[in-house]
Each structure stands twice: as structure tokens, then as C-alpha cells.
Structure 1
């Protein structure tokens, strides 16, 4: 019998490296699917929980947050686009235009996991990342979130109910607090079998190496 490896993936829709890490993780899982079963649980983290409606210009935000020049930010973005392409995400060539609050996206992900399971949740996660980084559209516009729901094969009317209410707000806040209190301060953070922590957008080879060690231990 193949062992099951549990993966807790803590990340934010507004984090480009979270998209890269998730793509690389999925590549590693595909390569080792004959040796183990993988159970991926997606958990919320907000990089900008206090971002007001309307967001902030992305270049302005990144230069202020990291103390970089505009040229440095653009060079970093070019590097991220390359890594994202290798991970299966075709980021918009001009980059995301603004940085937004992602709480509603996390509520939709929680709803999907609760009512449809992990596989559908993973599909919606990818579509939300595509919405933000590949389409580079406004995350404050609920239509863009609902379009991601539709592309994921989920019930748009039910999703609209979630968005227009405060449904799953407490659950998302509790999940965020759980990982912050556990010491998670940057994303992506990946916890394997409730024991081993990997941080950052690991390449597929790092995930494969970690998985193979867990398989051998089992």
C-alpha cells in the first residue's frame, strides 16, 4: 500500500512566489504519484490584510515595502515571470497592476474546500492565481472572482451568496491566526505530515527529495 503524504500549503493569492511554489509542488507530486498518495490542504494567509478597497499601485507598493528602486522591482518581476512560466503559470508580461486585499478570495477557497473537497479547492486556487497574475485584473471586482469560480466548474450563484455575506469570515480568520501563532510569517510555507516545514518557492527537486525521504521512512 502506498503511503499518504499530507501537505499543508499556507499561502496568499497576492503572492507571486506562492504561485511558483504551488506549480513546482504539483510537478513533484506528479512525478511521485506512483510511489505515494498526496493530500494537499490549502490554508489562508494575507500579506496585506489592511489594504483598503481599490488597492495600491503594485510598483509603488513593492518599492515602499522592500525599499527597492523601480528598476530593481521590475528586474525582480522579470525573474518571477520566468520562474512562474517554468512552474506552469504564464504571468502577464506587464505584471499585476495593483495590490489588493485577498480576504474574499480566501473565503471562496474555504467554501469550496468545505462543500466540494480538496480537489475542487485546488482548481479554484489555481484559477484565482491566474486571475491575479496572468489576467492581471481587479480582485476588488467580484465579477472577476466569480469568473474564476465559473472556470473552476463551481456554482456561481452559491459563490455570489458567499461574497455578499460574511459567510466563512470567522473560519478564515481562525485559520490565519492558527498559522501566525505557530510562527508562520512568510509564504509560501509548506508543512509535510504535520512535522516538517519548508519555506519559500522550493524547486520541484527539493519537494521530490523531501517526499522520497518521507516515503523511505514509511
Structure 2
């Protein structure tokens, strides 16, 4: 990528629904203004539940345990996400059996995908696999299938997943974000300077992009 491009760092987790909304709004802001060739996006890990077991946990039970959400609150939040998702062209599918999973292996594969220019493609595929199809994204075989669907090599993916240094790398990056005061996702950082946390509006992203692109042009 050219050094003249605006760097956009997206700190997120694969099981964060508002990360989906955030990236959809950001993409709309970019496409609307024909800025595609002026920006460079990189995704960074932030595990919301690093201690989540591989088999995961029932999503409603998880929200009740972690946030104290009642059944009624969970249903309202789900419907809100479904409605917002439809407005940006994304299908959130929830039911009583929906689960939340450990995402460590997802972040390791996203690092590999970045090295060959397929990171955003993999991230979007993981979002769809989890939220739309309800797949277990902590299962290695499922991840290999998703990765291959966007052009990743199975042998290379397994090498990354079995490399302890890749696990350590995720820990280091996540700790760096926490030391910088980041505790929620999505957090989108522009030009290594200013970040917006939460799924902001298209207009908010436009304003930030316009400001930094103008600065780049000076």
C-alpha cells in the first residue's frame, strides 16, 4: 500500500455485532465519496471473551451472566440488531440455541490473511459464518473451510494455528490496546491518531475521513 494512503485500523472481535454495523457504515462512507483508492484498512484483534471455552456458551445465558440482561432485554436487543442489520444489507439470525464462541483462532487466521492481502475478505466471511449461518467459528475444520472460501491455503492456516508465537502475538496486541485505554469494540483509529468507538453513523465516518484525507493532501 502506498504511504500516501490514509491508514484505518479497525479493532474488533468477530462475535461483536456492532462491529458489523460499524464496518458497513464505514464502507458506505468510503464508497459514497469514491475514497476506495485513498484508504488502507487493517483489522486488529480484541477478544471480548478470551476465556470462553471452545464449545462456547448459549448467547442468551452469556448476556445474562455478563451484563445482567433479562430475557426481554435480550429479545429487544436482538430485534434491534436484526432491524439495523437489514438497513445495511446484513442478516443477523438469532434463536434460542444461538451460541457465542472463543475467537482466538479467528484472530490468528486474520493475521495470516493480512500477510497475503485477504484480511478484509476473511473478516467479512467470518462475520457471515457466525451471525448469519450460526457456525462454530472456534472449530478448526469450520475455520479452514471459511478460510479456503476466500483463498487461504489449509496447510498455511494450520501452521499459523499451531504456532505458539502467533498466540502470543494476539496477547501482545490486545494488551497494547488496553494500555491505550481501549475497552470496547469496534474502535476505528484514523491515521494512528484519533479513534471512534462504537458503531458510528455514516456521517461521523465521513467527517473523520474527510478531515484526514484533506490533511494527507496538504
Q: TM-score, normalised by structure 2?
A: 0.90
Q: Deviations over 1:178-214 (max 9, x none)?
A: 1111110000001111111101011222111211222
Alignment of 1:101-180 (within 5 A): 101-114=102-115, 116-117=116-117, 120-166=118-164, 168-180=166-178
Which residue does the alignment assign to 1:53? 54
CA contact (8 A) 1:96 1:136 kept: no
Deviation at 1:79, TM superposition (A): 0.6
> 1:32 Cα shift?
2.2
Contact 1:77 1:95 in 2 (8 A): no
Residue in 2 aligned with 1:16? 17
Instruction: Indicate if the aligned counterparts of 2:60 and 2:96 stay in contact, CA closer than 8 A.
Output: no
1:66 equivalent to 2:67? Answer yes
Return the offset for 1:162: 2.4
Please say if residues 5 and 36 of structure 1, whose CA atoms lie closer than 8 Å, have aligned partners that are also in contact: no
1:13-52 alignment, distance < 5 Å: 13-34=14-35, 37-52=38-53
Alignment deviations for residues 76-132 of structure 1 (CA, whole Å, 9 cap, x no partner): 011112222223321225387111110000000011112x03xx1000010111111
The 5 A counterparts of 1:1-12 are: 4-12=5-13
Residues 112, 58 of structure 1: CA spacing in aligned structure 2 closer, same or farther, 3 A cutoff? same
Query: Which runs of 5 or more structure 1 residues have no equivalent in the other structure?
Result: none
Give the structure 1 partner of residue 101 of structure 2.
100
Matched-pair contact (CA < 8 Å) for 2:126–2:137: no
Q: CA 1:96–1:80 in structure 2 vs 1: closer, same or farther (change >3 Å)?
A: farther
Task: Determine the C-alpha separation between the residues in 1 that align with 2:213 and 2:19.
Answer: 25
Which secondary structure does the structure 2 equivalent of 1:197 belong to? strand
Q: Is the 8 A contact 1:20 1:201 kept in 2?
A: yes
What are the ranges of 5 or more consecutive residues in structure 2 without an aligned counterpart? none
| Residue-pair matches, total | 213
Could you say what secondary structure the match of 2:164 adopts?
coil
Q: Name which of structure 1's ranges 82-91 and 205-214 shifts more when overlaid on structure 2.
A: 82-91
Q: RMSD between aligned alpha carbons?
A: 1.8
TM-score, normalised by the number of residues in structure 1:
0.90
Relative to 1, partners in 2 of residues 1:197 and 1:96: Cα closer, same or farther, differing over 3 Å?
farther
